[in-house]
């Protein structure tokens, strides 16, 4: 399984069709600010979990799992939102192009 993180935002990543990959993104210490899938064309979401911080006040991690459903170029967009209001937070977007081979 291929692992992606914040450093992969803006890139085109090649992954075999039918294969899976995971994205690890830091979340703030507040449970109100969560990463959500904005679009995942041609990708099947197979997991979404949060790993809480070891200590109060530290950032946790959100882990998404996807399967590449078909051959071709697929756009993946994730955004961090304020949970109660649905408000997108500034500078908190992950965009990647997944090239299913």
The CATH number of residue 52's host domain is 2.60.40.2020
Residue ranges making up the domain that contains 47:
2-100
Domain count along the chain: 1
Task: Kindly write down the DSSP assignment for every residue of 6-62, as one continuous string.
Answer: GGGTT-EEEE-TT-EEEEEEEE-SSTTEEEEEEEETTEEEEEEEEE--SSTTS-EEE
Q: State residue 76's pLDDT score.
A: 96
Write the pLDDT tens digit of every residue in 80-95: 877 666 555 556 789 9
Q: State residue 63's pLDDT score.
A: 93
Write the pLDDT tens digit of every residue in 8-32: 999 999 999 999 999 999 887 666 6
Query: Considering Cα of 34, then 38, then 40, then 45, what sign does the dihedral take?
Result: positive
């Amino acid at each position: 399984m291929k692992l992606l993180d914040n450093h992969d935002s803006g890139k085109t990543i090649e992954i075999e069709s039918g294969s899976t990959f995971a994205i690890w993104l830091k979340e703030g210490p507040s449970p109100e600010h969560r990463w959500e899938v904005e679009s995942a064309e041609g990708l099947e979401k197979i997991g979404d979990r949060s790993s809480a911080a070891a200590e109060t006040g530290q950032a946790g991690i959100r882990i998404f799992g996807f399967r590449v459903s078909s051959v071709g170029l697929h756009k993946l967009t994730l955004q961090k939102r304020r949970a109660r209001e649905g408000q997108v937070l500034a500078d908190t977007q992950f965009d990647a192009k997944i090239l299913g081979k």
